Structure 1
Amino acid sequence: MNSTQLLAEAYRPILGRAERVDEEEGWFATQLPGWTVRDLLFHLASDCQRALVAFSTPSAEEPDTDEITYWSRWKPGGEAAQSGLRGTRIIASVWSSVRGPAELYMETAQAVLHAAANSDPDAVVVTQNRRMRVDSLLRTLAVEAAVHHLDLEQVLPHPPAAPVLKEVRRVLDGLLGESAPEAWQDIRYIRIGTGRLPLNQDEHEILGPLADRLPLFG
């Protein structure tokens, strides 16, 4: 599956749910501390806005990051992560209805999918002061959407499509430095790898020194 198709597959279920989300569901908790569904929808919309800026910020230089190394800066639990959680919560509270962030997400996500389908995957763009190929950008967007899809479990109980989960697993393995045990189910590995769940004792022993690298991003 190419990166454009992968992104469309990652966005499809979230778009479908955003179209139907109501006020009660908007207040449901997600897997992220302090964030409700409306907060996470706003965060997803912000990620789409960043992507649209990237599509319009070409670079003539070679890439300095790819879809795996991109995530090495993002670690959960740090001061920057906590600040991001608070900031998103504050901004998302501006809307009086969940339909505000839901519709913003729907508009920007559809715009991203259109831009992706009309972009050269080998072109280099700039995002967050880093240069990456469009193909890598689309893969990071798909991974982000998949991780947050799982965060929306209360309103989106069906998991992301298998190719999308496979892509997240590939990224986690790349950051870990080797493949995680095949017996680890994709969803548990993703939640452990992104700091949503801790390793249990058996998992810690299986990984050995590699366990110290977890969480890999978040």
Structure 2
Amino acid sequence: MDLFSHTWTALRTTVADLKDKDFERPSGCTGWLVRDLVCHLIIDAQDVLITLVTPTEAEPTVDATTYWHVTNSPPTGEDPLDALTVRLAAAYEDMALLKFHLDDVGSAAGRAARLAAPTARVSTQDQVLTDGDYLTAYVLEWTLHHLDLVAHLPGLPGPPAEGLAHSRAALERIAGGAFPASFGDGDALLVGTGRREPTEGERAELGSSAAELPLVLG
């Protein structure tokens, strides 16, 4: 629960420090500019708020690991929802308004997370899981999108080290195996999720597991 707040606050703080010109730079998400990614974060924050106020007495069907749908097909940016996000982002002619909207909704999501009971159950996407598992799953979401945010903005701070380490471990559980110890946490996440191609040396270290990548999470 604390790591959710820590990684979410770090991500929103980095967005708050963006200059207007930064929003027109590419992000690490295929087909999205930084402004599109920030708009997606607003939608994510809304999803957190909706889910945390959708309690259920049903037994959990997934946990923080099995919550994720995994494919091996990288996004193209042409998915209808992705395209809608781009159109929504373009409607924000003033980037200060985009920042304000993320801060407003994002702060509310952060407060809701702090008030959540770890063992309470919520329903989302026809799945049931505890609040604790749901918020734990989102640590991976925030960390990956923080990497996406700064992919072409090297002067900005990346995700917290704790979030990177946690997210690497989470991705390894999803993958069913560990990445080579020589991989830094950020590199393991970028290569593992297809955000960049492995170098020849990395591919050699991955061995046969390279054929199973990328792990595209949805």
Q: Same fold (TM over 0.5)?
A: yes
The one-letter code of the counterpart of 2:74 is: G
The offset of 1:119, in angstroms, is: 1.1
The residue matched to 2:214 in structure 1 has which SS?
coil
The amino acid across from 1:169 in the alignment is R
| 80 and 71 in structure 1: CA distance in 2 versus 1, 3 angstrom threshold | farther
Matching residue's letter, 2:4: L
> Deviation of residue 159 (structure 1)?
2.1
TM-score normalized by the length of structure 1: 0.89
How is 1:27-176 mapped onto 2 (pairs within 5 angstroms)?
A: 27-73=24-70, 76-78=73-75, 82-153=79-150, 154=153, 157-176=156-175
Q: TM-score, normalised by structure 2?
A: 0.89
1:180-202 Cα shifts (integer Å, max 9, x gaps): 11111111111111111112333
Seen in structure 2, the aligned counterparts of structure 1 residues 74 and 45 have a Cα distance that, compared at 3 Å, is farther
Q: Which moved more, 1:51-60 or 1:63-72?
A: 63-72
Mapped partners of 1:195, 1:83: distance in 2: 21
Q: Retained in 2: the 8 A contact 1:17–1:156?
A: no
Give the Cα–Cα distance (whole angstroms) in 2 for the partners of residues 104 and 74 of structure 1.
31
Aligned-partner Cα distance in 2 for 1:135–1:44:
20
State the AA in 1 paired with 2:185: D
Comparing 14-23 and 191-200, the one that deviates more: 14-23
Give 1:79 shift.
Answer: 7.1
Deviation at 1:39, TM superposition (A): 0.9
SS of residue paired to 1:42: helix
Alignment: residue pair count: 215
What's the secondary structure of 1:71's corresponding residue?
coil
**Partner amino acid, structure 2, of 1:175:** I
CA distance in 1: counterparts of 2:190 and 2:142, whole angstroms: 14
Alpha-carbon offset, residue 82 of structure 1: 3.3
**Amino acid of the structure 2 residue aligned with 1:161:** P
Asked whether the equivalents of residues 38 and 102 of structure 1 are also in contact (C-alpha less than 8 Å), the reply is no
Corresponding residue of 2:201: 202
1:122 and 1:81 mapped to 2: Cα distance? 38
- Name the amino acid aligned to 1:61: A
Task: Kindly state the Cα deviation for residue 93 of structure 1 after the two structures are TM-superposed.
Answer: 1.0
Superposed displacement of residue 42, structure 1:
0.7
SS in 2 for 1:95: coil
Alpha-carbon shift at residue 156 of structure 1 (Å): 6.3
Q: Which residue of 2 aligns with 1:26?
A: 23
4+ residue runs over 4 A deviation? 78-81
CA deviation vs aligned residue, 1:26-76 (integer Å, no higher than 9, x gap): 212111222122111110110110011101111111111111122234655
Identity over aligned pairs, percent: 26
| Greater shift in the superposed pair: 96-105 or 75-84 | 75-84
Q: What CA distance in whole angstroms lies between the structure 2 residues aligned with 1:74 and 1:106?
A: 32
Structure 2 SS opposite 1:125: strand
Amino acid at match of 1:190: L
Deviations 1:130-151 (A, max 9, x none): 1111111111222111111111
Residue deviations 1:94-125, cap 9 Å, x none? Answer: 11112232222111221111111111101110
Q: Which runs of 5+ in 2 are unaligned?
A: none
**C-alpha distance 203-155 of structure 1, shift in aligned 2 (>3 A):** closer
CA–CA distance in structure 2, aligned partners of residues 64 and 130 of structure 1: 6
Specify the alignment match of 1:11 in structure 2.
8
